[in-house]
Amino acid sequence: MAEAADYSALVEQLRDGRPVKLRALRPDDRADMLAAIGRTSVQSRQRRFFVPKKGFSEQELAFFLDIDFETHVALVGQIDEDGHPIIAGGGRFIVVQPGQAEIAFVVVDDYQGQGIGTILMRHLAVLAQDAGLKELIAEVLPENSAMLKLFKKFRFKTASKGSPIHLALQLP
């Protein structure tokens, strides 16, 4: 999936009309990623990581930034803010077994509800199909209605209820 490492999509429009550019996450995005995490509320981080994370260890940061674009693919949505590009959200999938990958997203609070998750999902699904994956899975807390709505839009099926809710999407 070498093309995923160089992935850069045409600029798309958010619901409010602002442009967003999707591209591969790069190791040199560390400062921008930390800034994005700093602009994300504890509640949003808890919905993503299932615990109220205040920060990340060096080992966790290495995991999030050292993407091989074979078994771990990550994209970011970049928005121009006051003349500077910032990371407004990101999504990734990680192969958990042959043919199956877990997918997850996080969007900075100020940009939630603008369609970044939908755009990321659409692009990641294409990359997953191109990689030969047959299924995407996700775990979502029951109170994360925005992510549940996004996965429903993409026809994920509930694999098991509880907390977290397990969802699955069969890829063509």
**Residue-wise pLDDT tens digits, 49-73:** 766 767 778 888 888 888 999 999 9
**Angle ∠(89,90,93) on CA atoms, nearest 5:** 160
Which residues, other chains included, contact 108 with Cβ-Cβ below 8 Å and sequence gap of 6+? Answer: 36, 39, 40, 44, 87, 88, 89
The domain defined by 2-170 carries CATH number 3.40.630.30: yes
Q: Which residue shows structure tokens 């920060």?
A: 55
Q: 3-state SS of 129-144?
A: HHCCCCEEEEEECCCC
Domain ranges of the chain: 2-170
Distance CA(8)–CA(138), nearest Å, equals 24
Which pLDDT belongs to residue 69? Answer: 93
**Residue-wise pLDDT tens digits, 5-28:** 677 776 899 999 999 999 999 989
Question: Along the 172 residues of the chain, how does pLDDT read in single tens digits?
Answer: 556 767 777 689 999 999 999 999 998 999 999 899 888 887 887 777 766 767 778 888 888 888 999 999 999 999 999 999 999 999 999 999 999 999 999 999 999 999 999 999 999 999 999 999 999 999 999 989 999 999 999 999 998 888 899 999 999 8
